[in-house]
Chains A and B, each alone.
Chain A
Amino acid sequence: MVQKVISDIESEIGKPYQQLESIINEHVLQIPSEDLRQVVKVLTQKHGYNHLSTITAQITKEDPDYIEVLYHFWKGSGFTLLLRLEKENPVIDSIIDFIPGVDFYEREVAEMYGVHFNLRDGTPPLLLPDDWTEGPPMLTSEKE
């Protein structure tokens, strides 16, 4: 079923994407960050992937110049979209108009990793204090 979803996404947007086996128990599709909204639109409106469990951001030891952002969808089984953002200028489009519940997840990724979300009215702090000045806490080497 997931293969059908992936081929639908690829035909809708008109380019192939890379399937990864980086998560051992979920399908992972790597997409360019600029395609996120189109892909989410197909996933939610055409295939009913309405449940976004959360967004995870991380910096890996193998790829320290990038922030990986993972969108964990679920519909009977997990399906993750993986995007790579340049650590120096991490910008991504918000999907809040497709999934209003993404608000807290985007705000957390914004404050913890310094990712800027376009197309939404700012990302006020979710967990950090209003007067936090020490920069995104997770934007340091992974095991300090």
Chain B
Amino acid sequence: MEKITIPIGPQHPLLKEPLSLLIDIMGENVLGGDLRLGYVHRGIEKLAQTRNYVQNVPLIERVCGICSHVHTTTYCYAVEKLLGIEIPARAQYIRALMCELERIHSHLLWLGILCKHIGLDTIFMHTWHNREMVLDIMEELSGGRVSHAANKIGGVRFDLDQDHGPMVVSILNKLRVEIDKLRDVVMYEPTIRARTQGVAPLSPEEIRQFGVVGPVARASGVDVDFRRDDPLPPYDQLKFSVVTNQAGDAWARTLVRVEEIEESMKICGQILQDLPDGSVEIRASRRVPAGQVVVRAEAPRGELIYFLRSDGSDSPARLKIRTPSLTALSILPKQLSEIQVADIPVVIAGVDLCIACADR
């Protein structure tokens, strides 16, 4: 039997975004694979140097179409750190609320895609239907379903009124019922277990070697979450559990994300309960003092890091972005070995790729 290399992408029904994969197979066995990025590279880091700090907020929001809010949160925090200002507590809580809602809808989106790849289209439809509830909340709060434009340097662009809290709680209560059902499906549905258990396991050592972060790392027992380990405010005020699993396979990655949805819903409830009074923004200078700062945040896919250097002018001298998807992609070739051809979609979906994030 001879080795065959099959190209997947850059345009392929399996992929929601452009990525080129070259996968070596022999019969039904996958021998290995390689990947090529860059098909949605937009030069955002270079472009950011040509715009002022305020203009960069909507640019940064477009690094990713799923976790857009955590990008602007990290960027704005970096700028505020250089400005030496702290935004009002109420604004911090609203930022965190949006971050957690974003995590819920990102994980639901991912779960739907996984189920679709497995062939469970009904669960895919249900999952995405449930995701709509979260998008409805975000639209009601910010005006945008995916690009929320919630953040501005110095705070947030909108406040919550007295009806918003009950509305969010009411929708999340409905969602909780649905997530309970989904959790049972993931736990006990034989097809999901058969297609994910024991598939493409990653050891904690491999996770550390490749610097993999987020739910993929936590599903291999690596207990790291930047909301707890290096928290941006107000996460230091919030109580939550970091979900881990020791199995390291595609099933563990699924369970971790489902449990993280539940944890994020609890955080949302806590934020609404403890929401401080006061304003949601303070005035921020358009000129940023010279200096350099590194900010890490926990995006839905893991550690997001921004490096920002100001030379004292009104636009960044250097903005470096490393998204968690890039770390997940770095270990993908390793995962694409010693599996069956039928496992390829589950392995690719399992690491929750966001190519636009990785390409920037």
Contacts and interface: CB of A to CB of B under 8 A. Distances in A.
Interface of A: 22-26, 50-54, 56, 58, 60-61, 70, 72, 74, 76-78, 80, 99-105, 125-129, 137-138, 142-144
B294 A128 contact: no
B291 interface: yes
A72 B305 contact: yes
B200 to A, nearest CB: 17
B331 A101 contact: yes
Nearest to B322: A54
Interface size range of chain B in the complex = 35 or more
Given A24-B82, A101-B212, 5 more contacts: A23-B294, A24-B293, A51-B224, A99-B211, A103-B330
Interface of B: 37-38, 41, 43, 45-46, 49-50, 81-82, 208-212, 224, 229-230, 291-296, 303, 305, 307, 309, 311, 313, 315, 317-318, 320, 322, 326-327, 329-331, 359-360
27 contacts: A22-B292, A23-B293, A24-B82, A51-B208, A51-B224, A54-B307, A60-B309, A60-B317, A72-B294, A74-B303, A76-B230, A78-B230, A78-B296, A99-B209, A101-B210, A101-B211, A101-B212, A102-B211, A104-B329, A125-B38, A127-B37, A128-B41, A129-B38, A137-B46, A143-B50, A143-B313, A143-B317
B315 A143 contact: yes
A24 B317 contact: no
Contact of B229 (A24, A58, A76, A105): A76
A117 to B, nearest CB: 16
A56 B294 CA distance: 11
Given A58-B318, A101-B211, A104-B330, A144 B296 contact: no
A101 B327 contact: yes
A74 B302 CA distance: 14
Contacts of B82: 24
Contact of A144 (B38, B50, B329): B50
A144 B48 CA distance: 11
B46 A25 contact: no
Given A56-B307, A61-B317, A72-B307, A127 B294 contact: no
Contacts of B291: 24
B229 A127 contact: no
Q: Which 6 A-B pairs have the closest CB atoms?
A: A54-B322, A101-B211, A101-B210, A127-B38, A56-B320, A127-B41
